[in-house]
Amino acid sequence: MRHLLSAADLDREAALHILDTAAEMAALSDRSVKKLPTLRGRTVVNLFFEDSTRTRISFELAAKRLSADVINFAAKGSSVSKGESLKDTALTLEAMGADAVVIRHWDSGAPHRLAHANWIGGSVINAGDGTHEHPTQALLDAYTMRRHLRDGKGALEGVRVGIVGDILHSRVARSNVLLLQTLGAEVTLVAPPTLLPIGIETWPCEVSYDIDSVLPKVDAVMMLRVQQERMQDAFFPTAREYSRLFGLNGERMSLLPDHAIVMHPGPMNRGMEISAEVADSDRAVMVEQVANGVSVRMAVMYLLLGGAKE
Amino acid sequence: MGSARTHDLRTVLSGDDIARASRRIAHEIVEKAKGASDLVLLGIPTRGVTLAHRIGAVISEIEGIQVPVGSLDITLYRDDLRLHPARALEETSIPEGGIDGKIVVLVDDVLFSGRTIRAALDALNDVGRPAAVRLAVLVDRGHRELPIRPDYVGKNIPTAASEQVRVRLTEIDGSDSVEISTGGER
Amino acid sequence: MSTYVIRGVRPYGEAAVDIVISGGVITALAAPGTGKGEVIDAEGLIALPGFVDLHTHLREPGREDAETIESGSQAAALGGFTCVHAMANTDPVADTAGVVEQVWRIGREVGLVDVRPVGAVTVNLDGTHLAQIGAMANSAAAVTVFSDDGKCVHDALLMRRALEYVKAFDGVVAQHAQEPRLTENAQMNEGALSGKLGMVGWPAVAEEAIIARDVLLAEHVDSRLHACHVSTAGSVEVIRWAKSRGVNVTAEVTPHHLILTEDLVESYNPVYKVNPPLRRKEDVMALRQALADGTINAVATDHAPHPHEHKDCEWGAAAMGMLGLQTAFSVVMETMVLPGLLDWRGVADRMSVQPARIGAVPTQGQPIEVGSIANIVVVDPEARWTVVADELASKSSNTPFAERTFPGTVVHTFYAGRPTVLDGVLA
């Protein structure tokens, strides 16, 4: 495997391989010396065209724990914001010997272009491209679900997952639907019709407009961020109405089965899609998701860069 | 000419031999450590872990206390990572109580070039600071490429570099034996 | 004054003749081998009236890095065209007599094709104020086609006024149908694929709704309407319905919409990024059928050159548009002639006669007969050629057909009685 551009790139075996490797990597964070020599001498570049402190730090930490050299390239204030093209940026990184580029970009398909346009020779990891995909997020979500619902082993056969929120604009939703299907889980999407893409009926999942009927039947519910500004483009009338119909508050949380967990990729819009009460409850595993993100990203980088160059 | 594969297989250790060797190693470990109180056995996956458990069981029998036994995967510390596609990781399980100040005995089935043990020492270094590190192996087949030597050996078996040493253990392979295969297979 | 003889050619694929050309006109259709003059061998080849493109972007003035009137004319001639309509979205916009006359004059100086400037409908294409349509019509460029192409005249009142106003000048409004509110930041056709790729979609209804509104407006004010680059099956239905009601509407389709579909977008290669976007297979088949039965009147290339840096980037940053002049005939051969949807008379009609009529260019689209102005293209239906992007005459190389092999080549082109292309190269 040379690149990780989409959750669809991973078949069941590859996905489980990453999750199992991540489980071993996770033990690292309990040691006092949180360092492995495996990627010593490799250079990983974080090419972030969109602001994202948490994801960038997660990748940076993952690479550093594997002893790689990390370069952070943030779009603001760099030559990119002054009009340098993606191509020229890529050529510059290649000249500096980047072994891997972790790219977050506002355009769907930018990582794909980077990987296939022959501008760089290294590996490309998609850290989120527009509203298209965010494969490492889906991996860390699956890892988290597996830990709580399947004792940290195997796939997610029969696990029922609800994903609630702005599906239309969500790369997290797209990657999760693909990966969860690969791992055998059953997915139900919940959103108002305006926040579901045309052609949703072709996706491998169920769709519902009624969160209350879905919550009792899931083992994990993933709340997606909904931006208040979407109100300006008439996706919903008011933030209050959205929250009333689709938000996860304490009352709704009690509809969940006892064992069910609440997830969120972050950052949260407390009061919008999720209430503070739910966010701070015992069922909420957001903090753990962040920790798992580092282990999963370590696993991905090890598998892409740790062996012979393909 | 042609490549008729001549498969000369000879058994160098029987199941009984292995059992006796393991008992002897267990006694030697306890003797040198003057007891079992600070011992931690760490097997190197895969078969080193099985051996470590067996030796640990014997020590518990002799000394009457439970010796912590765990596993130490060395994949990420190998010096030949770049020569092959990324390998799958094995399990690392450090017993509760850690290794700081303990006498760690690394256990492996076959000692060959010594690179695996070098990697294990590096891995241990990042886990903690043992009081001492010792090495127990079932078979020492020679051909060291690094200055590594075992403290406890089941059997010294001189081999040609082209030969293969096959260790079978019941828990994994269904029976106990050590065989050497010569000829065609490289 | 030279006399040319196109020897042994078959006009419209019918009986072979020698076409004798002198003084810019066809002076005789002689028995093969008997014509006297400079002989251009065309045995086994087919003669058609020179193609007329209703929709070309020559980029001059303003974007000469992408194309000039000269390079565009060369590409046109090599594609068998003897007349092109140069769209108004230049820089400055062609919304005054001054700019259209400049384009017209440079076209005449280059002298390879009739360059007919299209005038903008609104000042600076901003959609709020009518441009000086009368001044452009009365200028030396004699503009008859008005279009804000690139942008839609989306304001209903303004479109009504434009349709009314051009009547005084025998003009036609050519509408780029795209409701802007439904297509903000749209990147590709809206459908299951855009949902999967997470790209903002360009729904078919954004085109169909505007065409539906415009045909009713044209009917109401009794004016002529031309629909640019029709791309959906739904648009075809609307136009068919309008024509059955007697609305004076004409329509064009691009070669790329006759052959390419949206699944190509999955490659994220911006060479496939175009406006209106590539659509579904069902749309492609409906467009072919409509061109065959005349619901769509003409093939128009929407030749849209872009410099390399506007296509060698990520999809979202890329410009929209494809080259088309040199590949148009071959695409029509592959999609319409070979499957039997159009015969040679049909090709002549859709690629020359009708576009000349819609653009009100009496010197073009004339039949191949004695007395006609000699705007003729000679094609070889048996030959095949492979498109090499860097070898096209255009200054740009954004063709979606690179490395693709097509049937049918343009062998000779005659413009006003002079050869512009001989044996596939500029004469």
Across all residues in chain A, what is the average pLDDT? Answer: 93
State whether C316 and A113 contact (CB < 8 Å).
Answer: no
* Residue pLDDT, tens place only, C159-176: 999 999 999 999 999 999
Residues of C in contact with A113 (CB under 8 A): 268, 313-315
Binned at pLDDT 50, 70 and 90, residue B1 comes out as: very low
Residue of B nearest to A22 (CA): B89
Residues of B in contact with A310 (CB under 8 A): 85
pLDDT of residue A83: 59
pLDDT of residue A310: 67
Task: Say whether pLDDT at A149 is over 50.
Answer: yes
**Residues A53, A94: one domain?**
yes
Of C192, C201, C315, the CB nearest to A107: C315
Q: Of A81, A112, A195, A224, which to mutate for an interface test with C (greatest number of C Cβ within 10 Å)?
A: A112
For residue A20, give both structure tokens. Answer: 């199992």
* Residue pLDDT, tens place only, A256-304: 999 999 999 989 999 999 999 999 999 999 999 999 999 999 999 999 9
Of C192, C198, C317, the CB nearest to A131: C198
**Residues A128, A139: one domain?**
no
Q: Domain count for chain B, please give it.
A: 1
Residues of C in contact with A116 (CB under 8 A): 268
* Residue pLDDT, tens place only, B9-56: 899 999 999 999 999 999 999 999 998 899 999 999 999 999 999 999
Residues of C in contact with A198 (CB under 8 A): 190-192, 194-195, 201, 203
In a domain, A278, yes or no: yes
Average the pLDDT over each of A227-231, A260-264, A305-309, C1-5 and give the range with the smallest value.
A227-231
Residue C302: active-site member = yes
In a domain, A124, yes or no: yes
**Residues A121, A190: one domain?**
no
Q: Which domains does chain C have, with CATH numbers?
A: 3-46+372-426 (2.30.40.10), 51-358 (3.20.20.140)
**Residues A190, A247: one domain?**
yes
* Residue pLDDT, tens place only, A156-167: 999 999 999 999
Q: For C65-113, give the DSSP string.
A: TT--HHHHHHHHHHTTEEEEEEPS-SSS-S-SHHHHHHHHHHHHHH-SS
Of A36, A303, A308, the CB nearest to B83: A308
Binned at pLDDT 50, 70 and 90, residue A80 comes out as: low
State whether B76 and A310 contact (CB < 8 Å).
Answer: no
**Residues A155, A275: one domain?**
yes
State whether B81 and A31 contact (CB < 8 Å).
Answer: no
Q: What is the ipTM of this complex?
A: 0.85
Contact of chains C and A by CB distance (3 or more pairs under 8 angstroms): yes
How distant is the Cα of C272 from the closest Cα of chain A, in angstroms? 13
Binned at pLDDT 50, 70 and 90, residue A81 comes out as: low
Q: Give me the percent of chain B exceeding a pLDDT of 90.
A: 84
CATH number at residue A268: 3.40.50.1370
In a domain, A174, yes or no: yes
In a domain, A84, yes or no: yes
State whether A199 and C195 contact (CB < 8 Å).
Answer: yes
Contact of chains B and A by CB distance (3 or more pairs under 8 angstroms): yes
In a domain, A310, yes or no: no
How far is the CA of C127 from the CAs of C88, C151, C157, C171, C277, in angstroms? 14, 8, 11, 18, 22
Residue of A nearest to C308 (CA): A87
C316 touches chain A (CB under 8 A): yes
For residue C321, give both structure tokens. Answer: 């548009």
**Residues A169, A264: one domain?**
yes
Q: Give me the percent of chain A exceeding a pLDDT of 90.
A: 78
Residues of A in contact with C203 (CB under 8 A): 198
Catalytic residue, chosen from C95, C214, C283, C302, is C302
**Residues A113, A127: one domain?**
yes
Residue of A nearest to B87 (CA): A307
State whether A199 and C194 contact (CB < 8 Å).
Answer: yes
pLDDT of residue A85: 80
In a domain, B4, yes or no: no
Q: Which of A256, A265, A262, A252 is nearest to A225 (CA)?
A: A265
Chain A residue set in contact with B, beta carbons under 8 Å: 17, 20-21, 24-25, 27, 31-33, 35-38, 302-310
Binned at pLDDT 50, 70 and 90, residue B140 comes out as: very high
State whether B88 and A20 contact (CB < 8 Å).
Answer: yes
Binned at pLDDT 50, 70 and 90, residue A309 comes out as: confident
**Residues A113, A26: one domain?**
yes
Average the pLDDT over each of A111-120, A250-259, C352-361, C404-413 and give the range with the smallest value.
A111-120
Q: What is the mean pLDDT of residues C275-292?
A: 98
Q: Which domain does B112 fall in, by range?
A: 15-160
Q: Which H, E and C letters describe chain A, residue by residue?
A: CCCECCHHHCCHHHHHHHHHHHHHHHHHHHCCCCCCCCCCCCEEEEEECCCCHHHHHHHHHHHHHCCCEEEEEECCCCCCCCCCCHHHHHHHHHHCCCCEEEEEECCCCHHHHHHHCCCCCCEEEEEEECCCECHHHHHHHHHHHHHHHCCCCCCCCCCEEEEECCCCCCHHHHHHHHHHHHCCCEEEEECCHHHCCCCHHHCCCEEECCHHHHHHHCCEEEECCCCHHHHHHCCCCCHHHHHHHHCECHHHHCCCCCCCEEECCCCCCECCCECHHHHCCCCECHHHHHHHHHHHHHHHHHHHHCCCCC
State whether A304 and B86 contact (CB < 8 Å).
Answer: yes
In a domain, B173, yes or no: no
Q: What is the mean pLDDT of residues C46-63?
A: 97
pLDDT of residue B5: 53
Q: For C200-214, give the DSSP string.
A: -EE-THHHHHHHHHH
Q: Domain count for chain A, please give it.
A: 2
**Residues A31, A74: one domain?**
yes
Residues of A in contact with C185 (CB under 8 A): none
Residues of A in contact with C279 (CB under 8 A): none
State whether B126 and A35 contact (CB < 8 Å).
Answer: yes
C192 touches chain A (CB under 8 A): yes
In a domain, A2, yes or no: no
Q: Which domain does A172 fall in, by range?
A: 135-285
CATH number at residue B119: 3.40.50.2020
CB B172 within 8 A of CB B109: no
Q: Is the peptide bond before C276 cis (omega within 30 degrees of 0)?
A: yes
Binned at pLDDT 50, 70 and 90, residue A231 comes out as: confident
Binned at pLDDT 50, 70 and 90, residue A33 comes out as: confident
Binned at pLDDT 50, 70 and 90, residue B156 comes out as: very high
Rounded to whole angstroms, how far apart are CA atoms A246 and A270?
13
State whether A31 and B89 contact (CB < 8 Å).
Answer: no
Angle formed at CA C373 by CA C368 and CA C378, multiple of 5 degrees? 50
Residues of A in contact with C313 (CB under 8 A): 85-87, 113
Across all residues in chain B, what is the average pLDDT? Answer: 92
Binned at pLDDT 50, 70 and 90, residue B185 comes out as: very low
Task: Say whether pLDDT at A181 is over 60.
Answer: yes
C14 touches chain A (CB under 8 A): no
